[in-house]
């Protein structure tokens, strides 16, 4: 064997990766991608819950402000499980006797929870809290019930 044949044999073995090395790297990348997708899904679920809790608090504060201003619930939204549809939301957005705005919303978007369901409010229950009589209970469809007073 001459020197040229030895050199070409050595340089050929150093040039590429083996199939095992490539499969190992692809498996590691797949595992990392799987872990990242679980973390992203968990973060999205937590963000949706936080958004729902924030919207429920805002809705309860708006109805409490309505009660403080008028000392009664509007007749258009009395009872249990009242959907927060255009009628109820228009009352909070200035369609009330004094034209007070209790909650500002984008009129081009429906006011839904992060899962696409309508919020519901229970105006039938009331408690004596000092001089004020109000209680706002907001329901989320198939989710936890939030109660703010």
Other Cβ atoms closer than 10 A to 91: 20
Nearest Cα to Cα of residue 64 among 84, 83, 85, 92: 92
Q: Phi, psi (5° rounding) for residue 128?
A: -90, 110
Residue 122, C-beta contacts closer than 8 angstroms, at least 6 positions apart:
80, 81, 82, 135, 136, 137, 138, 139
Ranking 27-31, 65-69, 75-79, 127-131 by mean pLDDT, the lowest is 127-131
Q: 101 lies in a domain?
A: yes
Question: Residue 2: inside a domain, yes or no?
Answer: no
Residue 16: DSSP 8-state? S
Examine residue 45 and state whether it is found in any structural domain, yes or no.
yes
3-state secondary structure of 82: strand
Q: Is residue 43 part of a domain?
A: yes
Q: Is 72 within a domain? A: yes
Give domain status of residue 35, yes or no: yes
pLDDT, one tens digit per residue, over 53-69 is: 898 889 889 988 998 89
pLDDT above 50: residue 149? no
pLDDT at 86: 85
* Reported pTM: 0.65
- Separation between Cα atoms, residue 59 and residue 36, nearest integer Å: 34
pLDDT in tens, 1-31: 555 555 555 555 567 889 999 999 999 999 9
- Within a domain: residue 91? yes
Question: Is the confidence at residue 102, as pLDDT, over 90?
Answer: yes
Residues 137-144: what's their mean pLDDT? 56
**Residue 133: beta bridge partners?**
128
**Count of domains in the chain?**
1
Residue 40's domain spans which residues? 17-148
Residue 11 in domain: no
Q: Which of 52, 55, 56 is nearest to 44 (CA)?
A: 52
- Say if residue 75 is exposed, middle or buried (CB neighbours under 10 Å; 0-12, 13-18, 19+): exposed
């Amino acid at each position: 064997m001459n020197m040229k044949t030895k050199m070409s044999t050595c340089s050929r073995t150093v040039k590429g990766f083996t199939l095992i090395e490539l499969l190992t790297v692809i498996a590691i990348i797949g595992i990392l991608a799987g872990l990242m997708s679980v973390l992203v899904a968990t973060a999205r679920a937590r963000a949706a819950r936080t958004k729902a809790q924030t919207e429920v608090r805002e809705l309860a504060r708006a109805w409490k402000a309505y009660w403080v201003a008028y000392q009664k619930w509007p007749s258009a939204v009395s009872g249990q499980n009242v959907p927060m549809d255009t009628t109820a939301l228009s009352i909070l957005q200035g369609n009330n006797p004094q034209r007070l705005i209790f909650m500002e919303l984008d009129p081009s978007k429906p006011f839904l929870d992060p899962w696409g369901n309508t919020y519901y409010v229970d105006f039938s229950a009331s408690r004596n809290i000092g001089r004020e009589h109000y209680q706002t209970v907001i329901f989320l469809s198939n989710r936890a019930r939030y109660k703010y007073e």
